[in-house]
Amino acid sequence: MEYAVTIDKLSKDFGRFRAVDEISLTVQKGEIFGFLGANGAGKTTAIRMLCGLLLPTSGLGTVNGFDIFKESEKIKKSIGYMSQKFSLYSDLTGRENLEFYGSIYHIPNGRLKERIAELARNLDIEEFIDRKAESLPTGWRQRLALAASLLHRPPILFLDEPTGGVDPVFRRRFWEILYRLADEGVTLFVTTHYMDEAEFCRRISIMHRGRIVEIGNPQELIKKHHQPDLQELFINLISKSEQNV
Amino acid sequence: MNLVEVTNLSKSYGVMKAVDDFNLTAIKGEILALVGPDGAGKTSIFRAICGLITLDSGEIKVSGFNVATEFDRIKPHLGYMPQSFSLYPDLSVEENLYFYAGLFGLNRAQFQEKKKRLYEFSGLGQFYDRRAGALSGGMKQKLALSCALIHDPQVLMLDEPTTGVDPLSRRQFWDILKDLRRGGSGIVVSTPYMDEVALSDRAIFIFGGRKLAEGTPAELAGIFRGKAYRVAVDPTFNCMEQLCRIDGLQARRFGSTVHIYTKENDALENYYPALAEIGIKPEIITPIQPELEDTFIQLMGK
């Protein structure tokens, strides 16, 4: 079996505070993995380590086969990353934003134009790609940001709360796009607070206070803990974990 | 008496009509939810009620006073929690509360008394000296709510208070709202979560600055036209594509199953042959009550 992500007892300390505490997990290639957790549980810190933006304190980890301690530059080139705070330049149009990001990845001009046209079709952004980013509603800017993260055809995409504050209709359309990407073989590593989205993931992990308290297939976890749905499962597990602290 | 009365409110920014002839009434002891896509006009409506923008036309009354002409008399009755975190990140939890208490003219004794009660319901007491900027998302929202409550307002305006908040913190936040409702407050809250709409007494669906529908959660779910069914199949990309190709039928992923929808005056039986072709037999199809989200999506016409 081929893995896009493997981590083993990964930890990160900030001074005396342990933000991520010996987490272990693997993500298969082409899998949609839901990385869930309470606010402040350490999800963003973990993702930053996986993206090569932050050096772990201890443990082991690989992304696309590259070591997260020693090969962070290779990791950065081989992943896509989209955060909740989409970083688009508001004075530029969608297309200009994409051209700018493409040049950062040193994509030759001709190929970049083709890739942008292709993404515009696939991500359904053609109708607004030439409008200034600032005038677009969140759901549209979100799709532009997704396009920017896909320009260099990364085999894995990290999405940190990509749908925060987006209404149900836009959220569904966004997930249809994610499903299509997964179908094309892209691995998706997603954090979300929407439990209906978490159910779209093949596997999830639930994090609290730096630790992973549960990991597995959503339906199997619901059955295992005798909960009616994922929302109740999450509340139940975090409340229990809270009492054990 | 109506706590908030919005009559024929319109507001444009340049050529864009943000709010278009909108009406709303909020009453004592009720949670009213505003639901709509981005750019539907929710935040403009909140700002108008809180006297932060001028209206193009229409009238707004809060606790019987006109927002345009008597805003000073409204302030003591109104608590507003804006969408973005607006507290001082460098001040501690308690300093933020004290600052708000000062704004609303509470003296020291009143503040001590009020602080005790706010800590009780929010659970923030143990973090009283932590910088607000260092709080988790859920705690920040509880602090912002506490600040909005410092002067015991009759009306609480909460603009997407639980966006980006984890499910447990969200549950705790709504437990607080239910307590406040029991205490007689009128609460107007905007939210992108359908489960929160279900917890409200009444909800308004907004799109393009206009009201699409209004009612109790049950009434809104009942507006759905046509029939809904659950299909016990794995919602793979392939399966969804095949379903969407069947003319006249709509299909959506719903967790680990698929929901399909027929139009009004149409019968599912008409689709049995097409469904059988992609391996879906009638035995795995069960009729279901349409959910709020189904109505919302149908009303939006997408």
Dump pLDDT digits (tens) for B130-147. 999 988 888 899 999 999
Question: Mean of the per-residue pLDDT values for chain A?
Answer: 92
Residue B239's pLDDT is what?
Answer: 87
Q: Which fold has domain B4-221?
A: Rossmann fold (3.40.50)
Torsion of CA B199, B201, B206, B211, to 10 degrees: 160
The parent domain of residue A91 ranges over: 3-243
- B300 pLDDT band (50/70/90 cuts)? confident
Residue in chain A lying closest to B234 (CA)? A200
Indicate the number of domains in chain A: 1
Report which DSSP code applies to A163: T
- B5 pLDDT band (50/70/90 cuts)? very high
- A91 pLDDT band (50/70/90 cuts)? very high
- A40 pLDDT band (50/70/90 cuts)? confident
User: What is the rounded average pLDDT of the residues B279-289?
Assistant: 91
**Model confidence at B68: pLDDT above 80:** yes
User: What is the rounded average pLDDT of the residues A33-61?
Assistant: 94
Dump pLDDT digits (tens) for B121-132. 888 999 999 999
Chain A residues with CB-CB distance to B254 below 8 A: 196
Q: How far is B297 from chain A (nearest CA, A)?
A: 6
- A245 pLDDT band (50/70/90 cuts)? low
Collapsing DSSP to helix, strand or coil, B127 comes out as helix
Highest mean pLDDT among A131-140, B222-231, B249-258: B222-231
User: What is the rounded average pLDDT of the residues B169-184?
Assistant: 92
Per the rule left: phi > 0, alpha: psi between -120 and 50, beta: everything else, B23 is: beta
Q: CA A189, A190, A191, A197 torsion: positive or negative?
A: negative
Q: What's the CATH code of the domain at A146?
A: 3.40.50.300
**Model confidence at B302: pLDDT above 70:** no
Collapsing DSSP to helix, strand or coil, B32 comes out as strand
- B240 pLDDT band (50/70/90 cuts)? confident
Residue B257's pLDDT is what?
Answer: 83
**Model confidence at B208: pLDDT above 60:** yes
- Across the A:B interface, residue pairs with CB atoms under 8 Å apart total 99
Supply the pTM of this predicted model.
Answer: 0.86
CA distance A215 to A34: 10
Dump pLDDT digits (tens) for B246-265. 988 988 887 778 999 998 88
Sequence ranges of chain B with CATH classification 3.30.70.250: 226-300
Q: How far is A36 from chain B (nearest CA, A)?
A: 9
**Model confidence at B204: pLDDT above 70:** yes
Residues 96-155, chain A: which have Cβ within 8 Å of B?
137-139
Q: Which fold has domain B226-300?
A: Alpha-Beta Plaits (3.30.70)
Sequence ranges of chain B with CATH classification 3.40.50.300: 4-221
Residue B136's pLDDT is what?
Answer: 84
∠ Cα B38 B41 B46 (to 5°): 115
Chain A residues with CB-CB distance to B240 below 8 A: 176, 179
CB of A233 within 8 Å of a chain B CB? The answer is no
Contact A199 B39 (CB under 8 A): no
Residue A176's pLDDT is what?
Answer: 87
Q: Give the burial class of A166: count Cβ atoms within 10 A of its Cβ; 0-12 exposed, 13-18 middle, 19 or more buried.
A: buried
Which of A165, A171, A199 has its CB closest to that of B160? A165
Dump pLDDT digits (tens) for B94-112. 999 999 999 999 999 999 9
Dump pLDDT digits (tens) for A163-208. 887 888 888 889 988 988 998 899 999 999 999 899 889 999 999 9
Chain A residues with CB-CB distance to B192 below 8 A: 165-168, 171
CA distance A203 to A31: 8
